[in-house]
Amino acid sequence: MNKILTLSFLAALLISCGGGKTDTEVLETPITDTSESEKVAEFRAINDLLKQDINNTSLYLKRSKLYLKYGDLSLAVDDIDRALKIDSTQPEYYLLKAELLKNQDKLIESKQVLDKCMLLDNDNVPARIELGWLALIARDYKQAINYADAALKIDIYNAEAYYLKGMVFEEQRDTTLAISSYKTAIEQENDFYNGYVHLGLLHFYIDLDLAKGYLKNALRLQPESLEALYAYAMCCQHNEDYNEAIETYHKILKIEEYREPYFNLGYIHQVYLKVYDVAIDYYTKAIAVEPRYLEAYYNRGLCYEETKQYKLAEKDLRQALKLNPQYTEAALALERVLKK
């Protein structure tokens, strides 16, 4: 039997939005859509003001953030460069440019900009933390911790600095220190969403009730977060709270349709509830989303076997083997079905 899809504990998960959706991925909430007319109106308002005051750096900063909001990083950089050309003394401008460069994977350039920011303001806490994130990406864990600690010497209550330390410890597989750091982060900021998510994930194999509690807090802050909803559904599933798991997977599918919730709904109905016709329907939907979904073909084949639909079972198991000729479990199941 194919195992339940599990959660990802990669430390990089929450540094940036994930692209694809893999079996173990916990997905981040998508940006809320804004109509094209609203987008145009936002830019027009700033552009009209710039026509009246072409050297207004705050307007370039505002428009740069707007470009960032809509994913046009190149134009966002152009605008923050205009602001810096007019006034190169503002740390906030360097911070935004560093963020934009990091989002473009220009990590060396991002660090160079942050270093300039530090020359202007050596006590700049956000700059120290951003340098820490860059060190983490480079897997320079000692440097990342040093930057976080330096930030905390200036601001002992800074939640993001504790969160950064938690990410470093998590990537180093030091669960105890990671949990301690994340707990301190949410103690400093009761609405620190990322801290709750990571605490939920780290408690997944330690204490499911605690994991659910942390994830409920994350959902209190972001009710439609796909990553928090999926993690919460998985906690319910492993905790045998099947009705709650089913309800949560359906909430996810109302927000975004992808294969994993369908697969897990199929798994619950197949393995735990023994309602094979319903399981078949969910696996079919998972395959409709991802036609090469190996595990869905295999599990659907087992459901067909249970309901004595042997020809359909044979077809699915052969498809699973076509996708992966080394799939031993599928080969054994096919041999068993052919005998029937």
Reference 302, options 332, 324, 326; nearest CA is 332
The predicted model gives 182-194 an average pLDDT of 97
The predicted model gives 270-285 an average pLDDT of 98
Dig out the tokens for 119 from the structure.
Answer: 């020359």
CB neighbour burial string for 19-41, b if at least 16 within 10 angstroms, e if fewer = eebeeebbbbbeeeeeeeeeeee
pLDDT, one tens digit per residue, over 8-64 is 433 333 323 323 333 332 333 333 455 678 889 999 999 999 999 999 999 999 999
Q: What is the pLDDT of residue 17?
A: 30
Q: Report CA 74 to chain centroid distance, whole Å.
A: 24
Taking all residues of the chain, what is their mean pLDDT, rounded to a whole number? 90
pLDDT, one tens digit per residue, over 89-101 is 999 999 999 999 9
Q: What is the pLDDT of residue 38?
A: 87
Residue 76 clears pLDDT 70, i.e. is over it: yes
Q: What is the pLDDT of residue 36?
A: 79
pTM above 0.85, yes or no: no
Residue 153 clears pLDDT 60, i.e. is over it: yes
8 SS3 class: coil
Q: What is the DSSP letter of 11?
A: G
204 SS3 class: coil
Q: What is the pLDDT of residue 27?
A: 33
136 SS3 class: helix
Q: What is the pLDDT of residue 293?
A: 97
Q: What is the pLDDT of residue 193?
A: 97
